[in-house]
Chains A and B, each alone.
Chain A
Amino acid sequence: MKLRVKFNKRNYLKYISHLDLMRLFQRSLNMAKIPVEYSKGFNPQPKLSIASPLSLGIASEEEYMDLELIEKIDLENFKEDMNNILPKDVQIISCIYPENNISIASMISWGLYEVIFEIESLKNKSEINTSLNRWINQDTIIISRFRKKGRKKILKDEDIKSLIKELNIIDLDKKQVKLQAILKVGENGNLRPLDFVEAFYRDNDLTIIKDSIRIKRIGLFVEEGDTLHRPF
């Protein structure tokens, strides 16, 4: 029995890693006495998978995980029991029993991110927009990423242009800039927001103060034809 859960990860809790989060859920499920299916073998683990793990330091408003249950349970009770146990900055927003057995990880293909940073010299919105457009409209945007080659990790140049769907400025408050970007996530191409920000920081003339960059994931999306929609 597959249970699909939407949750958030905010404030200081962005500083716990993906593995820490897995352990947090595992223990919280134990505490709430949720009948989770365990893997077989010498070191049984609960069947729990979180779609497109966040990097350390990135907050999120909407994350998804699939849980394998031994038996069907009431969804409202599940949410309430878990939220009483989970810390206030990791909370379950909603949950469903999905109609088919496709994993959440394989469904998701785009992520919407908010990037906030400060710039050293004052600029107006259109100047910033020009700068964004110039960057995004280049023929290629090349970054170097570590890729596994057999056992070794090697640096490889890659064009990330096709992995960026949109980039817009949504707010400007004195020297604080707020952008939104839609980046590819998932099994068929993935652009880590940190790599994206690194490339943007490298190429533009906005005098970004590096220390001030904050990234937050706003949502994850399924692509169907030309439209993007939330998994639920």
Chain B
Amino acid sequence: MINKDKLDRILNKVEKPARYIGMEQNSIIKDLNNIKVKFAFSFPDVYEVGMSHLGLHILYNLINAEKDFVCERVFSPWIDMEEEMRKENLPLFTLENKEEVRNFDFLGFTLQYEMSYTNILNILDLSGIPFYSKDRSDEDPFVIAGGPCAYNPEPIADFVDFFVIGEGEEITLEILRRYKEHKEGKWDRQAFLKDIAKLQGIYVPSFYKIDYNVDGTIRDMVPIVKEAPNKIKKCMIGDLDSMFAPEKMIVPYIETIHDRVVLELFRGCTRGCRFCQAGMIYRPIREKSADRLRELANKLIENTGYENVSLSSLSSCDYSQLQLLVSSLMEEFEEKKVGVSLPSLRLDSFSIDILKEIEKVRKTGLTFAPEAGSQRLRDVINKGVTEEDLITAVSYAFKEGWSRIKLYFMIGLPTETDEDVLGIKDLSYKVKGLFFNRPKEEIKGNFKVTASASCFVPKPFTPFQWVGQDSIDEFKRKAYLVKDSIKDNRVVFNYHDPELSYTEAIFARGDRRLSKAIVKAWEKGCKYDGWSEHFKFDLWMETFQEENIDGDFYALRVRELDEVLPWDFIDPGISKKYLIKEYKKSIAAQITDDCRLGCLGCGIKDCSMRGVFN
């Protein structure tokens, strides 16, 4: 346990000290002396962000349900806290028992975005754990990682003892069980790693050797121990109804990003948007039954006292029994003053019916994501919404009294022309027109439409994994093209930092040679890179130059279809053949239907929903 006097002294000086105290309702504090395997779960960002992550709540309750195991939380201390901790020589600790992180058996990171990699190093440093897995001994925890960014684990492969690829629920318990067995027998670190390397979804980077071509691309990646498979197949939960689902959630004292019950409706997505990594890697679609969801919702509301339930998934309006679920939840919760919200609304008439239902209790802000300004470009990315959908949805919203609309777009999409980019302006102006071209007596409220554009980052395991990103200058030119074309202060346009997206693109499709740059950038003071106010682009560029790394090689280069990609050794279920087919269709602006309407042969074996929808 850390020195609590020191902690108390520090907590008096930092902003939001409740980030570091733990003790929330539904948190679990076990006596560590009676525990066989200690797991520290880390979301490498600040408490409020990490606590909003559903995966944390699932794994936390799953592991703690086992008598011999414990899961405690650790987040990235905010800048002020880190400063005080370093001054006082206070090592990083878990929130539950205030135990040093380095005394745990495992330190598990969830990788939600690439720009958190320096925070991972910062957490290791504050914990006194060596950065490189080759430098760790039996005194150190195993550093493991999972989550969406683990689908290209290579940029941080040198820091992580092993990765869990795919859905971690079942496999995590299996890892901890095997660890316990090994510890009870004759302990050998390498023997343990070799044992778990045989499990589906486990990737031990140190068991592989990579050779490069003269042009810098990868020649091959070969296992150097017999236990390591050539291909790592992702883990997946078969039946969501019978899987572990927590009936309690830790309730933070301070306000977090999502201060509500989060109900997971389904995993996977059938829409096939070509830019979306989640839509590809989480296939196949698997739903929870409405009965199970109702049961969970009731228990969670009862056990947390929250007054809002958010129906979460990649595309909640696609839930096959949504109407039934929403109306039964509304009926049950109206008395308890519990609201229901749908975070991801689609622009179709069905969604609007649902919206009508929900808004009986509480009105939420309205955000739509057409993603691209022109129909041609929406077809390229296979975002199956039309301008008509948008018009219908927005007209309804205005009629119901909304006057502020947010629209989300991307710039720098494949095949994009200036005409497509200016479509962002056109669409925003059309929304404005819809508001004002109504009878005077119907126009109420202060109209504002905010169009936000993010800079497209091509991601592994999408049909766009081969494309080059737009350059920073090109992003800026396009952003200004839109900005300068808007001459109405009720139409607001803003765009995300292109420098940040460029750096993100380097790591999204990077390889093992980037690890030394992450260390160097951290040494120069880079952390919280995902927070634009802390992102230091000049330090990153300086680092790449010093380490002889060409950022353009990773971010801007168009890959040949036969190039060996750094993540090719992972099998996410969907086939490369399918991705190539989708890539080619996208260039021709051909759309692909929702696969609920007919199987498209994406490569997922035994897709459980094939029978249900086809």
Residues of A participating in the B interface, judged by any CB pair closer than 8 Å: 12-13, 15-17, 20, 23-24, 26-31, 38, 43-44, 56-57, 85, 87, 89, 211-212, 214
Question: What number of A-B contacts does a CB cutoff of 8 Å give?
Answer: 62
Measured CA separation A57–B15 after assembly (Å): 11
Measured CA separation A211–B8 after assembly (Å): 10
The answer to whether A57 touches B12, judged by C-beta atoms less than 8 angstroms apart, is yes
Residue of A nearest to B17 (CB): A15
Task: Tell me the smallest distance from the CB of A219 to a CB of chain B, in Å.
Answer: 23
Q: Mostly helix, strand, loop or mixed at chain B's interface?
A: loop
Contacting residues, chain B, for A29 (C-beta < 8 A): 305
The answer to whether B11 touches A28, judged by C-beta atoms less than 8 angstroms apart, is no
Residue of B nearest to A26 (CB): B305
Contacting residues, chain B, for A13 (C-beta < 8 A): 21, 23
The answer to whether B251 touches A57, judged by C-beta atoms less than 8 angstroms apart, is no
Contacting residues, chain B, for A16 (C-beta < 8 A): 18, 21, 253-254
The answer to whether A211 touches B9, judged by C-beta atoms less than 8 angstroms apart, is yes
Residue of B nearest to A27 (CB): B305
Measured CA separation A56–B306 after assembly (Å): 24
- B523 on the A face (CB < 8 A): no
Contacting residues, chain B, for A31 (C-beta < 8 A): 302-305
Contacting residues, chain B, for A12 (C-beta < 8 A): 11, 21-23
Residue in A13, A26, A27, A43 whose Cβ sees the most chain B Cβ within 10 Å = A27
Task: Tell me the smallest distance from the CB of B31 to a CB of chain A, in Å.
Answer: 16
**Residue-wise interface mask of B (251-264) relative to A, using a CB-CB cutoff of 8 A (1 in contact, 0 not):** 10111000000000
The answer to whether B12 touches A20, judged by C-beta atoms less than 8 angstroms apart, is no
Residue of B nearest to A25 (CB): B305
- B534 on the A face (CB < 8 A): no
Q: In chain B between 286 and 344, which residues have their CB closer than 8 angstroms to a CB of chain A?
A: 301-307, 336-337
Given A15-B11, A85-B25: A38 in contact with B17 (beta carbons within 8 A):
no
Measured CA separation A44–B337 after assembly (Å): 8
The answer to whether A20 touches B307, judged by C-beta atoms less than 8 angstroms apart, is no
Measured CA separation A89–B22 after assembly (Å): 12
The answer to whether A24 touches B307, judged by C-beta atoms less than 8 angstroms apart, is no
**Residue-wise interface mask of B (1-27) relative to A, using a CB-CB cutoff of 8 A (1 in contact, 0 not):** 000000011011100011001111100
Task: Tell me the smallest distance from the CB of A76 to a CB of chain B, in Å.
Answer: 21
18 chain-A/chain-B pairs, Cβ below 8 angstroms: A12-B22, A15-B21, A16-B253, A20-B253, A20-B255, A23-B255, A27-B25, A27-B304, A27-B307, A29-B305, A30-B301, A30-B305, A31-B303, A38-B337, A44-B337, A57-B17, A211-B12, A212-B9
Contacting residues, chain A, for B253 (C-beta < 8 A): 16, 20, 23-24
Measured CA separation A43–B251 after assembly (Å): 21
Q: A20-B18, A30-B307, A87-B23 are in contact. List 16 more A-B contacts (CB 8 A).
A: A12-B21, A13-B21, A16-B21, A16-B253, A17-B254, A20-B253, A23-B255, A24-B253, A27-B305, A27-B306, A28-B305, A31-B304, A57-B12, A87-B24, A87-B25, A212-B9
Task: Tell me the smallest distance from the CB of B94 to a CB of chain A, in Å.
Answer: 14
Residue of A nearest to B98 (CB): A12
Residue in B9, B11, B24, B305 whose Cβ sees the most chain A Cβ within 10 Å = B305
Residue of B nearest to A212 (CB): B9
Residue of A nearest to B303 (CB): A31
Task: Tell me the smallest distance from the CB of A41 to a CB of chain B, in Å.
Answer: 12
Please provide the 7 A-B residue pairs with the shortest distance between their CB atoms, ordered closest to farther.
A27-B305, A30-B305, A15-B17, A12-B21, A31-B305, A16-B253, A20-B253
